Amino acid sequence: MSETSRSRFVAPLAVVTVLAALVAGLGGFFIGRNSVAPPAESSADVGFVRDMYEHHGQAVEMSLIFREKTQNTTLRAIAYDIATSQGNQMGQMEGILKVWGYPMTRTGAPMAWMSGEDAQGGHTHSSGGHVQPNGMMAGMASAEQLQQLRGATGVAAEKLFLQLMITHHKAGIEMAKAGSELADTDYVKTLATKMHAGQTAETALLESELAKLG
């Protein structure tokens, strides 16, 4: 693919993703304006939103890298859906943090919010199993893996993308489950529950497509 063709392909998808994020961000703003007082910055609500925003960001990045590498229409559609749906959710998460008056930047260690309790005083989670030895959140691809994805072609690229995204989604599912249990605000509970359902369904689809590749 020529550089001109590549730029024509990547730009429209990037624009769609950005627009989806902006629209969702405005939605989060108006929802947040009518909400109760914002949770504390140390809350599971804020911690979940910040960490999941970062987690989603890499899923969008991997999907954009991969989509231009394959002619498999099913996998192209999956990559597009992941990029747009998670870009939309990133907009929602950025919007609610702005409403609450908190920066996007994490103030402590990743996944520290998982050591708390939910509104009913139960469902404690340990953050230890959700952070890799290199300090990255569980499921996050390393810089080396992302470079491998950029350099891969053909079926090798398809297999690598599916493997990385399955690992990424499975960790996201655990995060979403914890977020739905530990968050105090209805907004975050609902968002986390939707993420859990969506990524669970997508993971099954990704595993099915990987099995087809042998």
Averaged pLDDT for residues 160-184: 97
Predicted confidence band of residue 196 (pLDDT cuts 50, 70, 90): very high
Query: What's the residue count for the chain?
Result: 214
Q: What are phi and psi of 131, to 5 degrees?
A: -130, 130
Predicted confidence band of residue 153 (pLDDT cuts 50, 70, 90): very high
In percent, the amount of the chain with pLDDT more than 70 equals 77
Question: Which of 165, 151, 160, 135 has the alpha carbon at shortest distance from 59?
Answer: 165
Predicted confidence band of residue 36 (pLDDT cuts 50, 70, 90): low
Predicted confidence band of residue 134 (pLDDT cuts 50, 70, 90): confident
pTM (two decimals): 0.81
More confident residue, 206 or 108: 206
Task: Report the 3 state secondary structure along the chain.
Answer: CCHHHHHHHHHHHHHHHHHHHHHHHHHHHHHHHCCCCCCCCCCHHHHHHHHHHHHHHHHHHHHHHHHCCCCCHHHHHHHHHHHHHHHHHHHHHHHHHHHHCCCCCCCCCCCHHHHCCCCCCCCCCCCHHHECCCCCECCCCCHHHHHHHHHCCHHHHHHHHHHHHHHHHHHHHHHHHHHHHHCCCHHHHHHHHHHHHHHHHHHHHHHHHHHHHC
Cβ–Cβ under 8 Å, residues 40 and 46: yes
For the record, the structure tokens of 125 come out as 């989670």
Predicted confidence band of residue 116 (pLDDT cuts 50, 70, 90): low
For the record, the structure tokens of 60 come out as 């969008």
